[in-house]
Amino acid sequence: MLRAMASLETPRAVDAPAPAEGGVWRAELSQTIRLALPMALTQLGQIVMMTTDLVLIGRLGDEALAAAALAHTVLFAAFSLGMGLVSAVAPLAAQAFGARRPRMVRRALRVGLWATVILGVPTTLLQFRGEEILVALGQNPHSAALAGRYLAGMAWAIIPAWAFIALRNFMGAVNRPEPALWITLAAIPANAVLAWLLIYGALGMPGLDLFGAGIATALIDAGMCVAAIAIACSRRPFRKYRVLGRLWRPDWRLLAKLVGVGLPISGALLLEFGLFAAAALLMGRISTSAVAAHQIALQVAALLYMVPLGIALAATVRVGQAAGRRDPVGARRAGFVAIAVAAGFMAAMTLIVAATRRAIPHLFLGAADPHSAGTMELAATLLALGASFFISDGLQAATGGALRGLNDTRVPLLLAVLSYWIVGFVSCVWLGFAMNLGAIGVWIGLSLGTAVYAALLVWRFHALTARHYLPAVPALT
């Protein structure tokens, strides 16, 4: 027993030379990329499925695409609330893994699945009131009706999608994120075929237009969730955690810990998504073309954002594991490596988007159409403006992930209020309407808010890790 306990410490021999500083940073970079790559590809796969849906919906016309954009504002506002809670599975499980406490890893996943069901039922029901919500927010009744039809199908995707995120975070926390990628890669073509069948009524299927797009997404998300559960229960190394063991057992203390860490994440996500949702509503007060152009440019930004988000997930795991093994220097190093990788990737993507900004809108609206020419030109302009915040968007994602690895989520929530709403939203309204810049002014406001948030988060991570802050791993009960 004493030998087993001593092995957990794994001391370095006295005569063994300390690794060179450069070698340590290179090793961290290698580990981060190895972990982040499948996570980033999984995130890209998720957004590819959404983009595929929007491309198929875009063939129905500008009105359908604008309605989908409005529907997403309602859906994401609700979805981000639960996504923050299940995101807390990653730091709690990673810290337990770093501390070599497998039972705590399982408990972290278990309370995440509990939160999925407890919050998922009322959130699902809320989506069926999407049309009324949009009308109350001043949107065109016809567009609101189309958006409500889309939400009626999408509503059923919420619970399985959250559960898949919780399972994916568990897999990443134990350094095995690949199965989530395999599931996502299989889901991409299945989603495209099913959406095509249900939207247009191909091969004898009923043509359900926007409702069919929503139902297709729900069916695919349910299949992904079932596949993730099957792999977690049957394949190594996941099965040793017995992830469904004692699933019915109350775990209120850890659930409270999950809420304490996850609820501020939800709040920050709501503030971020809320700003972009508010921007979409502001676009709705400008014109239908502005809404469609905004959705195209935002979808490209979201596609690029998936890679820094995958890097952020890796940062949460790497920082969390270092915190679990009580290694403050390793936690700081892991965070800054992830931040540098995210910034470098987004700098490269900025150049690519700037060079292809006029070709991108054609992917969403098809061949040249006199009615869509104005939308395409505006979308190209917004993409050029969007390039100004791609790097800061990557920075805030990676730094936020690193802070979550330290369970630091409350201060970032306050910083999100300042950045997104006091700076970002006020700038959107003032530049877009008071200065008569329209859609262009709204996007400049988005850029300002994102840049301020990124700078404040980097400062926060530096301040915490400079004084070797580490969170406490929850005790077993």
Query: 162-172 burial, b for 16+ CB within 10 Å, e for fewer?
Result: bbbbbbbbbbb
pLDDT given for residue 101 in this prediction: 87
Average pLDDT on 1-8 reads: 35
pTM metric for this prediction: 0.82
Quote the tokens at residue 382: 């917004």
Residue 353: which pLDDT band, with cuts at 50, 70 and 90?
confident
Whether residue 91 contacts residue 316, with contact meaning beta carbons closer than 8 Å, is answered with: yes
CB-based contacts of 435, cutoff 8 Å, min separation 6:
441
Average pLDDT on 87-108 reads: 89
Q: Which ranges in 201-234 belong to alpha helices (H)?
A: 209-234
Average pLDDT on 340-364 reads: 85
pLDDT given for residue 1 in this prediction: 35
The answer to which of 184-193, 259-268, 301-310, 324-333 has the lowest mean pLDDT is 301-310
pLDDT given for residue 473 in this prediction: 67
Q: What is the pLDDT of residues 33-81, one digit of tens each?
A: 998 999 989 888 887 888 788 888 877 777 787 888 788 878 877 888 8
CA dihedral 213, 160, 172, 256 (to 10 degrees): 130
**358: which DSSP letter?**
T
Whether residue 269 contacts residue 84, with contact meaning beta carbons closer than 8 Å, is answered with: yes
- pLDDT value at 157 more than 50: yes
469 three-state secondary structure: coil
Residue type, 467: R
CA distance 86 to 165: 7
DSSP for 195-206, please give it: HHHHHHTGGG--
DSSP for 148-167, please give it: HHHHHHHGGGHHHHHHHHHH
The pLDDT > 90 percentage for the chain reads 34
Integer CA distances (angstroms), 137 to 67, 77, 133, 141, 350, in order: 14, 14, 6, 10, 34
CA distance 381 to 14: 62
Residue 4: which pLDDT band, with cuts at 50, 70 and 90?
very low
CA distance 166 to 225: 10
Sign of the CA dihedral 139, 150, 450, 358? negative
The mean pLDDT of the chain is 84
Quote the tokens at residue 318: 């790497």
Query: 299-311 burial, b for 16+ CB within 10 Å, e for fewer?
Result: bbbbbbbbbbbbb
- pLDDT value at 396 more than 60: yes
Whether residue 163 contacts residue 136, with contact meaning beta carbons closer than 8 Å, is answered with: no
Residue 402: which pLDDT band, with cuts at 50, 70 and 90?
very high
Here the contacts of 5-10 (C-beta below 8 Å, separation 24 or greater) are: 8/100
In 10 A of CB 26, how many CB atoms? 13
Q: What is the pLDDT of residues 19-32, one digit of tens each?
A: 556 678 888 888 89
Residue 403: which pLDDT band, with cuts at 50, 70 and 90?
very high
Compute the chain's Rg from CA coordinates.
22
Average pLDDT on 412-423 reads: 95
Backbone angles phi, psi at 11, to 5 degrees: -70, 150
pLDDT given for residue 143 in this prediction: 79
Whether residue 168 contacts residue 29, with contact meaning beta carbons closer than 8 Å, is answered with: no
Whether residue 439 contacts residue 296, with contact meaning beta carbons closer than 8 Å, is answered with: no
Q: What is the pLDDT of residues 301-315, one digit of tens each?
A: 877 888 898 899 999
